[in-house]
A and B are shown apart, each in its own frame.
Chain A
Amino acid sequence: MLFAMMAPMTLPALYRLRSGSFARLRWAMYALFVLGYGAVWMAAGLVLQLAEVALRGAPPQGHGAALAVGLIAVIWQSSPFKQRCLNRCHAHRAPAAFGGAAARGALASGLEHGVWCVGSCWAMMWFPMLLPTGHLVAMAAVTLLMFCERLDPPATPAWRMRGLRTALRWARLQLVGARASARPAAVALPVSRGAARRRAP
């Protein structure tokens, strides 16, 4: 589940490692990064599993726990804390090129990326675990949302709904084309009643 859902989120970090390291060391760097990243998610997954068991205990096979976590996920998704985590997910340090420093850097980068990734995605990852049915559909939807939100550039942390801005722009570009997409939208300015009366013939 972890690797299926989180693999797309590691691509920019892996690409940064790829472009900044020697070809001969590249696979070792990937492995160390994934080790660090996976270790953080395994620890987080254990906590989420324990919490899932605790929540499932009360009404077995009900939707109540999933709804509660879904609400928490929506609140977290729109919070400035989430944006801060997303910003940190975008930051990739230049990797050290040689020897032990390169290995330590790749592992540290995996750990660091994992921490901010958990901070960003924990609530959304938790939600499908609590659904009595439809896990796969929920997992696919959550993975798509997590992938889309990484397409958005870093932003100032604030309360707002986020996740689909860049993806929707891209989709619009594909559907209506660049020319139509670039055309400024008609803006309806608010007109006061008095002004409207004066303009009327």
Chain B
Amino acid sequence: MSEPSAAALLGASAAELEVRQQRTDVRLALRAEATRRAAAAHAAGAAAGARFYLVLEEVRGSFDATALDVLVHLPASSGAGDEAAFVAGSVGLYGLRRASAANAGGDRGEGLRFLLDVTPFLEQVLAAPGAAPATATATATAPAAAELVVSLRLRRQLPDGAALSIGRIAIYHQDPRDPAAPRHE
């Protein structure tokens, strides 16, 4: 079995997020240099299995009978029928309550962690005009994608008094050709 390759952080949400409404939009700031290098590395390593991942970290809450759709770059005015193309994945919150509950010592639970493959979305974002260059030989002065808009959509509205929070949403690039250390910024 081969060793897991190191993942490079490209961007993350700025603060802990409270999900209360049916739809919550989050802007993930992407670090320009990291994104540029990831784009270059991805162009060379996509065939070898390089992927972009969106990670929902420290998901805590008191209501697990729902699911969360994660959409990337969903237009603000889109209708329900248009949204399917923007869905990066869905996560069931089964076990959320138990993972969030404090133990006998009063320590808060670590919550749940979800990982979604968002490679096609990031490839689109990086290929867009004004985004990071798509090849390793491209100029390093080109502007990189500054942010990624992630929309979280509750399949079932939270009941009154229930809470759902996400510690951090982060974007990573993983290149299997680089098992030791990430070279991205």
* A positions within 8 Å CB-CB of B: 19-24, 80, 83-84, 87-88, 91, 93-94, 96-98, 101, 154, 156-157
Task: Decide if A24 touches B185 in the complex (CB within 8 Å).
Answer: yes
- Residue B58 lies at the interface, judged by CB distance under 8 Å to chain A: yes
Q: Which 10 A-B pairs have the closest CB atoms?
A: A97-B12, A94-B168, A157-B105, A84-B105, A24-B185, A94-B57, A156-B104, A94-B167, A87-B107, A23-B185
B145 to chain A, nearest CB (A): 15
A59 vs B168: C-alpha distance in the bound complex, in angstroms?
55
- Residue B117 lies at the interface, judged by CB distance under 8 Å to chain A: no
* B positions within 8 Å CB-CB of A: 7-9, 11-12, 14-15, 29, 31, 33-34, 57-58, 103-108, 110, 167-168, 170, 182-185
Task: Decide if B12 touches A91 in the complex (CB within 8 Å).
Answer: no
User: Could you pull out 23 A-B pairs where Cβ atoms are within 8 angstroms?
Assistant: A19-B7, A20-B9, A20-B170, A22-B185, A23-B34, A23-B182, A23-B184, A80-B105, A83-B105, A84-B106, A84-B107, A87-B105, A91-B110, A94-B57, A94-B58, A96-B15, A96-B168, A97-B9, A97-B168, A101-B14, A156-B104, A156-B105, A157-B104
Task: Decide if A87 touches B57 in the complex (CB within 8 Å).
Answer: no
Chain A residue contacts of B110, Cβ below 8 A: 91
What residue in chain A is nearest B37 (Cβ atoms)? Answer: A23
| Contacts between the two chains (Cβ within 8 Å), count | 67
Task: Decide if B34 touches A22 in the complex (CB within 8 Å).
Answer: yes
Task: Decide if A97 touches B104 in the complex (CB within 8 Å).
Answer: no
Given A24-B33, A97-B170, 14 other A-B residues pairs in contact with their CB atoms under 8 A = A19-B7, A20-B57, A22-B34, A23-B9, A84-B106, A87-B107, A93-B167, A94-B167, A96-B15, A97-B29, A97-B168, A98-B14, A157-B103, A157-B105
Chain B residue contacts of A157, Cβ below 8 A: 103-105
Task: Decide if B105 touches A22 in the complex (CB within 8 Å).
Answer: no
Chain A residue contacts of B33, Cβ below 8 A: 24
Chain A residue contacts of B167, Cβ below 8 A: 93-94
Task: Decide if B107 touches A96 in the complex (CB within 8 Å).
Answer: no
A88 vs B108: C-alpha distance in the bound complex, in angstroms?
9
Chain A residue contacts of B9, Cβ below 8 A: 19-23, 97
A20 vs B108: C-alpha distance in the bound complex, in angstroms?
20
